[in-house]
Chain A
Amino acid sequence: MASATIVGVLVAYLLVLLVLGAWAGRGSGSVAGYYVADKRLPSWVIAFSSNATGESAWLLLGLTGMGYTMGVHALWIVLGEVLGVALAWSRVAEPFKAWTDRQGAITVPDYLEARFHDRNHVMRWLALGIVCSMVIAYTAAQLTASGKAFQSFLGTSYATGAVIGAAVILYYTCVGGFKAVAYSDLLQGVLMLGGLAALPLVGLAAAGGWGSAMSTLAALDPALLRPMGPYGWSLEGIVSVVGFMGIGLAFLGAPQLLARFISARSRRDIVDGGMIAVICIVIFDVGAVLGGMAGRVLFDGLADAETILPTMTGALMPALFAGIYLVIVLAAIMSTADSVLILASATVVRDVVQRILRPDLSERTLARLGKALTAVLGLLALAFALGEVRVVFWFVLFAWSGLACAFTPVVLCSLFWRRTTRAGAIAGMVAGFTTAVVWVVAFKSMTYELYEMIPGFAAGFAATVGVSLVTEPPPGIDEEFEAISRTLAPGRARRGR
């Protein structure tokens, strides 16, 4: 009976996604329609889509696990992520939108090529290599998580879960394009928000209320209630804090998140979207950490802390809600997988085929090619997930940070430092990406597990600034910056004259 209820909730959710795909498919006949929904998305959609994309299943399984093992110390992740989201929406989103609208850009490589007058398309080819290698690995990991979620919640085989997850994602992403991805993210984000708001309330109520739960945690381990956790004010503790806060840096310029700013309907939607995104991320993160802490009170001694969420829902909630939480975990998986898949498809079709190899192809042909390529990339990721190919999971270790380190320092310098040059930007992309990879492989274990985002960002910024200082910025850049300033604040520009 319980299983039938869970299956019923799951089937209803998957049907909604299929309907969304069919609905969004009507506007996906052109390249801009397929990849940025013709830049017509409202504030609620871009805000929830950005957060649901930025937070994969890691939020539900990993961050609750952090709350479980580290307690209050995990709040440093909340600080990093909330600051990252707030700064992205308040400082990056509007200038980036203004630049991309002015250039007619619909991808990050589009923007970088126009910003740096990169006539040899070096940045597009570089972006292609980085995005495709990372995205296939990242999607494979999300499909693996889908297989495991079906296995643990429903008892199906791992392969069945991975195939069902892939089939649904590929249907609505191929048919509906970015519009389907963004609106499904809205639905998925709302589900994640409700689930994570309820989790600590249910957990703390079951643990006898706040006072009783905190007394139990203090008795289990007093470090669970201290900001520096088990490390205290040691070098290891400070490295842990810096790494935790570094998780939020990716929100400032990961290409799959910047695509949400490009697709916004207007600057007013970006302004409103920022407030929604920050409130949403606060509830996501605080709910996950406090939920994990409540879970520690109730289920101390779990072999794998990342199973605390399914453990809590299975033990504390009726079958209907267990089904809803399975859907929420799947929502987190799908909202990330669909977004990175369409990012890779755009990088191939828009950045390479349309802009370099075959500019003569019609919009309709290119949109069809984009749909086909999305399917191919997804099937490739599914094959890796089913084969449990080890090298893929080695890539997954730095897929999120590698993408962020390759693009974010360069995008930030390009938006706020007019002296940034093409050579500096190329050097920054290469240095940021390779440093993140090399750090994971060679140095991470020697440095108290310092998160690779920190050295990756430092190297990306250093290379961009260092090389820019010894090379010439593109001609006419002052005029372009002035034009952007006038677009962003016409009132202020008038008063300043």
Chain B
Amino acid sequence: MVIAGWPLSSWLLLAVAVGAGTAIELLHWLRRRRELDDESARS
């Protein structure tokens, strides 16, 4: 299947290339920000 000139598999590669690392970092960032805020509030 071709979407906007690219095969679906190429779109999937682009999505994984951009999304996998970004998702890992985003989840980490959200969790750590919350933990650091909690730490600041306690101290």
Task: Determine if A227 and B22 form an interchain contact, defined as CB atoms under 8 angstroms apart.
Answer: no
Interface segment among A2-10, A72-80, A390-398: the answer is A72-80
Name the A residues within 8 Å of B6 (CB-CB): 72, 214, 225
- Residue B17 at the chain A interface, CB threshold 8 Å: yes
Find the A residue at minimum CB distance from B13.
A227
- A278 x B16 contact (CB < 8 A): no
Whether A211 lies near B18 (C-beta < 8 A) is no
Q: A214-B4, A218-B5 are in contact. Are A87 and B18 (CB under 8 A)?
A: no
The reply to whether the CB of A349 lies closer than 8 angstroms to some CB of chain B is no
Residue of B12, B20, B36, B42 near A267 (CB, 8 A) is B36
**Would you call A164 an interface residue if the criterion is a C-beta within 8 Å of the partner chain's C-beta atoms?**
no
Q: Give B27-42 interface residues, CB cut-off 8 Å to A.
A: 28-29, 32-33, 35-36, 38-39, 42
| B20: contacting residue among A82, A271, A277, A491, CB under 8 A | A82
0 or 1 for each of B1-27: is its CB under 8 Å from A? (1 = yes): 000111101101110111011101110
Task: Check B17–A82 contact: CB distance below 8 A.
Answer: yes
What is the interface of chain B mostly: helix, strand, loop, or mixed? helix
Complex Cα distance, B13 from A489, in Å, reads: 35
Do residues A274 and B28 form an inter-chain contact, with CB atoms below 8 A? Answer: yes
Dominant secondary structure of chain A at its interface with chain B: helix
Contacts of A225 in B (CB 8 A): 5-7, 10
Q: Are A226 and B9 in contact (CB under 8 A)?
A: yes
Q: Chain A interface (Cβ within 8 Å of chain B)?
A: 72, 75-76, 78-79, 82-87, 89-90, 94, 210-211, 213-215, 217-218, 225-227, 267-268, 271-272, 274-275, 277-279, 281-282, 285-286, 489-492
Identify the B interface with A (CB < 8 A). Answer: 4-7, 9-10, 12-14, 16-18, 20-22, 24-26, 28-29, 32-33, 35-36, 38-39, 42
Interface centre among B5, B17, B24, by most chain A C-beta atoms within 10 angstroms, is B17
* Cα separation A268 to B5 with both chains bound (whole Å): 43
Please judge, given known A-B contacts A79-B20, A268-B36, A491-B38, whether A274 and B7 are in contact too, CB under 8 Å: no
New A-B pairs, 19, CB < 8 Å, besides A78-B18, A214-B4 = A75-B10, A79-B16, A79-B17, A79-B21, A83-B20, A86-B25, A211-B4, A211-B5, A218-B5, A225-B7, A227-B7, A227-B12, A227-B13, A268-B36, A271-B29, A271-B33, A272-B29, A274-B29, A278-B25
